[in-house]
Chains A and B, each alone.
Chain A
Amino acid sequence: MIAEQCVYERPVGLTATYTHYCPGCTHGIAHRLTAEVLKELGILGRTIGVASVGCSVFAYHYIACDFVGAAHGRAPAVATGLKRVLPDRVIFTYQGDGDLASIGLAEVLHAAARGEKITVIFINNAIYGMTGGQMAPTSPPGMVTSSSPGGRNPQQMGYPIRVSELVAQIEGSVYVARRSLHNPAEIRKAKKALRLAFEHQIAGHGFTMVELLSNCPTNWGLTPIESLRWIEERMIPAFPLGELKNVGDGKVEG
């Protein structure tokens, strides 16, 4: 007789709520990884999340910690306010590419420049999901969206912004990584990156950011499986994966 063994369950850090995300969306994976890391590091009870405007506006219904909803793009400023008055708490923002790389570019770059001891979780799926699939600052050239119906033409619409590279060259940042959620091996690396980012924050080293390449099957007009392939074929060439910065080579001291 084989003893019953639990191999998969809802993490304590996730609430028992159905999410509003579309089928196949990787937000659920990013939420789960965040919740697992917060629990494993023993910081869930002293963490405050800052939700942003976009599909993840209701992140606070799913991740079981204190949360505040920020205005579009302003999450790093809101996180700065929280961290400066409660320096012993763990503060993270959860932002999409429209929120972080377009309207909130100033806030994230300056939070990095100040070396704010916060963690930014940056979901990059190259599109505005909540408003129905418009071109984002991270849309690769040629990408068809509802506001670039002929494909993103760099001559008129410019080029995608690689925010992690920008943040990594700022002295105030200590940990910057870009990972992907398109397959199990990358998901494991994404979790490790989140863990390292939070460890750096807890140790008080400085600004940390993890960019997660994500999908949007609904607005990309693809099936979930096709959308994961699209991350691999179209997004990773434009946004190379890796650890862009890890001050101290990952040896995080508390």
Chain B
Amino acid sequence: MAPVNLSHRRTHNLLLISKLLSLRDTASPLTLLQDSLEQPATPLIKEYIRRAKLSKVHVTFIAFETLKKPDGVDAFVSTRRKSPADIAKEVAAAYQPAATGPSRHPGFHLPSFLGSFIASTGPSAGKADASLVVTWHQDVPALPQQNHYSPSPLPVLTYLATSIITLHSFSHILAQKAARDRSLAAPVFGLEEEQDGVLLGRLDKLAGTGAAEGIVLELEHRRKSGRGVLEWYLLPPASQYSPQHVKEVVTLLDDNVLYNPPMEPDTNPDDDEPKSTFELGLTDRQRRDREGVVLPYFDAQHGDGPGEGGRILYDMGEEDDFDEEEDEI
């Protein structure tokens, strides 16, 4: 890829993720976070909340599986044993100061509930100039539906979402890339290992990945114009920057040193001979002499007539014993 192209992509796409994560200008009314046990969305949600705090945005947290109100959340709506309509009402009451509501959505709710939730929140979100962030656990198997003909919840969500962020663990991405570079089968982790008794494969240190911390975000953003943007980003762990940090912390995955190690500095194209203590090169004179050497049977290759080419010219030596019957020259 040409360097100019990359730098253009970098400026453009970093601006985009910054806009999305800070929920500026309702860049994405409905963001879908697809996480898994190997890389939960919790750190990204925290990052959303941190940025919302910095830009003084109101945060409503609709909790389907969280008990405790996370830090920095303005309104916390617990949903246990509540009907969708009640939840929508509570949420509407919570966002008086017209703002945004990152919510967590568990992966196992009935589609009817899901649909009505989106339908009821969608319009009000538009009115109130709010953005909705929804979490979907990819690894929770989809439960059978009541209505077999309606689309299942995940396609509905991905269809409706304006941007979809799929989360990956950086160390796993590195391990998979390392395998790919060697043309090996990519390793799998956690549930995909299909090993008895293993739910999570994530361990602090995976062999060979060093101190690869952070989350890889695979972003698919759909613009109003219809053009889509696909990009891979890296979000460093929260411990590496202060909560008040304003500048963009997310980088492109391609810019990461671990993922895309810089080329060897020694890339002079003229210098393509192997290094050795022996002089393997030829001087000009030697090269000229080499070209002057006449190879054996050189003449035989210039056959004049048919059947002549390829004839072997052979001079009998004294030790050769010529036999009329067998040998024919």
* A and B interact physically: no
